[in-house]
Amino acid sequence: MFSSNRLIGVAVMLFIITVWAMVWPISKALPGGAFGEPVGSIYNGLNVLFTALAFGGVIITLLFQAEEAKHSRR
């Protein structure tokens, strides 16, 4: 049904989104001076999310390219 690379890709994306979602409650528990910029800036949080998702996309692309290279050698 699903290849192992596809399952790994889905797992990577879910892990990234989960870690990103956990940052907000953790940052509220920290003291106010723990960060140089305000925590409430929505653009910084979105920037981190999209950067992490792009990095996850690169990892998934590398996995799919490795699988295609194996298929082309056969």
Contact present, 60 and 12 (Cβ < 8 Å): yes
End-to-end CA distance of the chain, in Å? Answer: 21
Contact present, 52 and 16 (Cβ < 8 Å): yes
Domain count, the chain: 1
pLDDT of res. 36: 58
Show the domain range for 51: 4-73
The DSSP output letter for 74 is -
pLDDT of res. 1: 46
Cα of 30 vs its chain's centroid, Å = 23
In the chain (74 residues long), the average pLDDT of successive 10-residue segments reads 74 86 76 60 71 87 86 82
**Three-class SS of 38-65:** CCCCHHHHHHHHHHHHHHHHHHHHHHHH
- Indicate yes or no: pTM above 0.85: no
